[in-house]
């Protein structure tokens, strides 16, 4: 008997499970349809009751399968939205069942049932239109637009459905509104399917697209060809088919592989940016359809679409600008100390050098080094060293009280301070203040003095001519070197060489 590896065995089990899931997804709907048809044939005058029970059970089964899929794996947000949609549709059909059993009335669809049938599309449209990871306020605006869309559908659909003398024109408009909603769901499900790079999302939107296409065809078949036929007839079997297909897709696809064809990046970005247009576009289209029959609601729908999308864009732009500012700040600020980083220091020093050249004022640069910092790191560890750097940085920044003074982390344990429009004596006074402030912090250190100290070198130029800023840096570096050579914890100054 040939040896079968563990990997081959796992693949065989996975293949068997996939085949079993597919058979289950096909057989259960088939049994459901056969049972529905057989009971319709055998029920006689109670066939309407059989149909309503089966048409309530079909979306409930589909919703249960969607919840199972959401719990098992895949795109949880999408499958839960579909489950909610199925529950709403089943609720609408259950309302019909209640009316037939308790009220014994077929005078029209009740307001509650019609509302549930209309709201069925809201969670589906939301999951299609709202990109993932949006802020809760953006989701709230989108939810408001979706509910507004559902409200327009409900108000006018219910008005037409309960009119005893509804004209053919109004009935046609009603059917068109349902077709528009179903067609939008199909189109955007296909777009999201082709734009999804994530395998779980791609499988979800593929399943939703198949379901939506079948639902669109079934709804058009019933609404346009059999709208005057009461429940209990053979066309009822077709009504349950989309829900059975969705339940089968949810079961058959559970645990499927993660392979997916990646859409182009530009197409993904276009869909992500354009997706939020879906809700206001639908509101505008539905409002346009209703202009002649209900101008007040049409105007309200247009206003909701424009204002809702406008507020959404304003909030998204604000968040985008805040994110941009934060990102820009991160590129200019040292993460450990909160001071300006080397990039910001270089740009600021060049800017102040040019300003000093124009104004004729002096410019000073302090180069500050933490004494015996390598010994501190080796003895206490890098986390303690980082805390010492942060504390020193805050002390230095607190001493630079002028808005024009710029304190930066130059690199490692070294800091730099740019002092525009100062004299050598003013620069020396501030440097000594900084040195003394750090020493008074009394931060424990293995250095000879037992606490953290700094050495400071001052470079100063009285008048900037045509020289290079490197001369100022060189003077400050030379002064710092001298301060360290002379025993550390002191301040030295050197004038910058000028041409």
Domain that residue 431 falls in: 342-495
Dump pLDDT digits (tens) for 98-129.
Answer: 877 776 554 444 667 777 887 888 889 888 88
Residue 374 CA, chain-centre distance (Å), reads 44
Residue 307 lies in a domain: yes
How many CB atoms within 10 Å of residue 291? 13
Cβ count within 10 A of residue 195: 20
Distances 241 to 61, 62, 89, 370 between C-alpha atoms, Å: 12, 10, 14, 76
312 and 377, same domain (yes or no):
no
Q: Residue 417's Cα: distance from chain center in Å?
A: 41
Q: In terms of domains, do 31 and 161 share one?
A: yes
Mention every residue, 6+ apart, whose C-beta is less than 8 A from residue 194.
263, 267
Note whether residue 336 is domain-resident: no
Verify that 68 and 111 share a domain, yes or no.
Answer: yes
- 413 catalytic? Reply is yes
Instruction: From the candidates 7, 169, 352, 413, give the one annotated as an active-site residue.
Output: 413
pLDDT in the model for residue 162: 46
Taking 50 as the pLDDT cut, the residues of the chain under it are: 1-7, 13-14, 106-109, 162-165, 255-260
User: Of 295, 327, 359, which residue constitutes the final position of a domain?
Assistant: 327
Domain annotation covers residue 337: no
Within a domain: residue 481? yes
Domain boundary, last residue among 296, 327, 358? 327
Q: Are residues 318 and 381 in the same domain?
A: no
Q: Is residue 310 domain-shared with residue 436, that is, in the same domain? A: no
Q: What is the mean pLDDT of the chain?
A: 82
The reported pLDDT for the residue numbered 360 is 85
Domain CATH for 436: 3.30.70.270
Q: How far apart (Å, rounded) are the C-alpha atoms in residues 180 and 189?
A: 14
In a domain, 362, yes or no: yes
320 and 388: one domain? no
Could you tell me whether strands 454-461 and 491-495 are parallel, antiparallel, or unpaired per DSSP bridges? parallel
Q: 356 with 465: CB under 8 angstroms?
A: no
**Among the three residues 298, 327, 356, which one is the final residue of a domain in this structure?**
327
Residues 53, 101 within the same domain = yes
200 domain residue, yes or no:
yes
For residues 296 and 406, membership in a common domain is answered with: no
The answer to whether residue 334 sits within a structural domain is: no
Same domain? For 323 and 346 the reply is no
Is 284 a domain residue?
A: yes
Same domain, yes or no, for 14 and 152? yes
- Number of folded domains that form the chain: 2
Quick one: 487 and 406 in the same domain? yes
Q: Tell me the per-residue pLDDT of 135-148, one tens digit each, with 9 for 90 and over.
A: 778 878 888 888 88
Same structural domain for residues 137 and 18?
A: yes
């Amino acid at each position: 008997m040939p040896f079968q590896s563990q990997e081959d065995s796992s693949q065989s089990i996975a293949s068997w499970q996939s085949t079993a899931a597919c058979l289950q997804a096909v057989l259960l709907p088939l049994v459901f349809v056969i049972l529905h048809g057989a009971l319709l044939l055998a029920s006689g005058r109670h066939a309407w009751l059989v149909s309503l029970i089966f048409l309530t059970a079909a979306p409930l089964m589909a919703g249960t399968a969607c919840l199972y899929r959401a719990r098992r794996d895949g795109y949880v947000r999408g499958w839960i939205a579909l489950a909610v949609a199925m529950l709403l549709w089943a609720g609408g059909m259950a309302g019909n069942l209640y009316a037939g059993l308790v009220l014994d009335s077929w005078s029209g669809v009740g307001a509650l049932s019609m509302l549930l049938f209309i709201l069925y599309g809201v969670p589906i449209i939301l999951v299609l239109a709202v990109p993932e990871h949006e802020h809760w306020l953006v989701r709230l605006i989108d939810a408001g637009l979706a509910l507004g869309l559902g409200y327009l559908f409900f108000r006018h659909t219910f008005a037409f459905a309960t009119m005893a003398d509804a004209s053919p024109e109004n009935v046609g408009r009603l059917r068109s509104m349902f077709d528009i909603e179903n067609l939008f769901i199909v189109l955007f499900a296909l777009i999201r399917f082709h734009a999804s790079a994530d395998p779980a999302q791609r499988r979800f939107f593929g399943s939703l697209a198949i379901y939506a296409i079948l639902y669109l065809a079934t709804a058009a078949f019933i609404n346009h060809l059999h709208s005057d036929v009461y429940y209990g007839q053979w066309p009822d079997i077709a009504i349950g088919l989309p829900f059975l297909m969705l339940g089968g897709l949810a079961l058959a696809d559970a645990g499927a592989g993660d392979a997916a064809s990646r859409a182009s990046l530009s197409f993904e970005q276009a869909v992500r940016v354009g997706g939020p247009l879906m809700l206001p576009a639908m509101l505008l289209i539905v409002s346009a359809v209703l202009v002649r029959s209900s101008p007040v609601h049409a105007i309200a729908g247009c206003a909701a679409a424009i204002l809702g999308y406008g507020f959404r864009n304003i909030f998204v732009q604000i968040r985008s600008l805040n994110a941009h500012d934060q990102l820009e700040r991160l590129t200019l600020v040292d993460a450990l100390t909160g001071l300006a980083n080397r990039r910001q220091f270089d740009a600021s020093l060049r800017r102040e050098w040019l300003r000093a050249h124009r104004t004729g004022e002096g410019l000073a640069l302090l180069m500050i080094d933490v004494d015996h910092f390598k010994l501190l790191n080796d003895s206490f560890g890098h986390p303690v060293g980082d805390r010492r750097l942060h504390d020193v940085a805050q002390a230095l920044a607190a001493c630079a009280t002028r808005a024009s003074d710029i304190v930066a982390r130059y690199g490692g344990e070294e800091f730099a301070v740019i002092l525009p429009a100062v004299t050598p004596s003013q620069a020396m006074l501030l440097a000594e203040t900084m040195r003394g402030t750090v020493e008074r912090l009394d931060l424990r250190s293995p250095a000879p003095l037992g606490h953290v100290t700094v050495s400071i070198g001052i470079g100063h130029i009285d008048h900037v001519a045509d020289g290079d800023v490197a001369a100022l840096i060189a003077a400050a570096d030379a002064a710092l070197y001298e301060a360290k050579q002379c025993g550390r914890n002191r301040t030295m100054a050197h004038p910058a060489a000028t041409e």
